[in-house]
Amino acid sequence: MFHLNSPRILGPLAAALLGMAAFGAHAQSVTSLVVAFPPGGPADSLARVVATQLEKELKQTVVVENKPGGNGAIAANQVARSRPDGHTLFLSSVGAISINPALYPKLIYDPAKDFAPVSLLVSTPEVLIVGPDHPSKTAKDFVARAKTQKGVTMASSGVGSMPHMAIVQLKLSTKANILHVPYKGAAPAITDTIGGQVDGFIGDISGLMSNIKAGKAKALAIAAPKRSPLLPDVPTFDELGVPNVYANNWYGLFAPKNTPADKVEALNAAVRKALASPELKAYAESSGVELSPTTPKEFEELARKDTKKWGDLIRSEGIKADE
C-alpha cells in the first residue's frame, strides 16, 4: 500500500503537474490567427505580416492557421466555438461576415452574435481588368461593348463573392448585357481573363497589381469613391458616369463572443500599433490596400451596414449559392 506522501507517488505526480502547468503556460502564450483562405493569396499575405507585428505588440507567438472552405464557414465556425480568452482570432473578409448571411439560409454560424469585433485592418478597392489583347482600351469602351447585343462575359471568384457583387452593381448601373461566369476562386478567373476566355474581371487591387505591372492585364476602372494612389491614371466608375459601383473588400479581426471587453480593447490597441508599423505601411504601399484601424464599435457598425447593403442586393437580385 502506498501513502500519498510516498516519494514513489509524489515524484511522478509532481512531474505530471509541472508538465500540465507548462502546457497551459505555452497555450496561453500562443495566439492563433485563423484565416478562411489557403496559403499564398492576398488574405494569407496580410495575415502573415499582421501576425509578425502582433507578436511584437502582444509579446507572444502568433501563428496563422489556414482553414479554407465553405465560403469562410469552416474558419468562422472554428473561431466561434473557441474559448473566449483572446487567444483565437478570426481574420475575415467582408464575405464571411456581411455577405454569407443572405447568401446561405442555413449558415452554421451567426456573424452578428458569434463574434466580438476587434478592429478593421485594411480596405481593398476593387479594379476592373481586361486581358492585354482585349479590344477595350478604356472603361467607356468596355461599357459600350457590354451594351451591344452580344454583350460581355465577366468572371468572378464565385457566387456571392465581392467580384460577383461588383458585377451586379455594374450591371444595374449600366443596364448592360453582362453574363456572369463564376469560378472556384480568383486565380482561375484572373487566368482566363488574361487569356481572353472571358472579357473582364473586377477584383482586389492587391491581388491584381503584379499582373497589371507586368502588362498581363489592363486596369480600366476603380470600384471606389476615389482613385487608387497605386493606379493614379485609372478613373473611378463615378468619373465615367457609372454611379454606385462601390465594392470594398475589407479585412478585419474578430474574437469569439463573450471575450472580455478588456481583452478586446487590449487587442485593439495592439492592432493599432501594428498597423502603424513601417512594415505594414510598406505592405500597404506595395499592395494597394488602405490601412484602416477602427474602434471595436466602429467596426461593428461597418459590418452591420455592409450586411444590410449586400443582403439587400442579394435578395433583390435573387442571388443564390450552391450549398
- Look up residue 2 and give its three cell numbers: 502506498
How does strand 178-182 pair with strand 251-256?
Answer: unpaired
How far are the Cα atoms of 150, 187, 235 from residue 139, in angstroms, in the given order? 17, 22, 9
Backbone angles phi, psi at 251, to 5 degrees: -130, 140
Q: Which of 121, 118, 125 is nearest to 292 (CA)?
A: 121
User: Cα separation of 323 and 13, whole Å?
Assistant: 51
How far are the Cα atoms of 125, 141, 155, 227 from residue 132, in angstroms, in the given order? 21, 14, 16, 21
Q: Dihedral sign, CA of 160, 248, 86, 50?
A: positive
List the domains of the chain with CATH numbers: 9-123+250-317 (3.40.190.150), 126-240 (3.40.190.10)
pLDDT by residue for the chain (323 residues), tens only, comes to: 545 455 555 555 544 444 444 444 444 589 999 998 888 778 888 999 999 999 999 999 999 999 988 778 889 999 999 999 999 999 999 999 999 999 988 898 999 999 999 999 999 989 999 999 999 999 999 999 999 999 999 999 889 999 999 999 999 999 999 999 999 888 899 999 999 999 999 999 988 999 999 999 999 999 999 999 889 999 999 999 999 999 989 999 999 999 999 999 999 999 999 999 999 999 998 888 999 999 999 999 999 999 999 999 999 999 988 65
Residue 23: per-residue pLDDT: 42
Interval 7-19: pLDDT, tens: 555 555 544 444 4
Please, are residues 226 and 213 in contact by the beta-carbon 8 Å criterion?
no
User: Cα separation of 103 and 318, whole Å?
Assistant: 10
How far are the Cα atoms of 59, 119, 298 from residue 269, in angstroms, in the given order? 13, 9, 14
- Look up residue 139 and give its three cell numbers: 472603361
Q: pTM of the full predicted structure?
A: 0.84
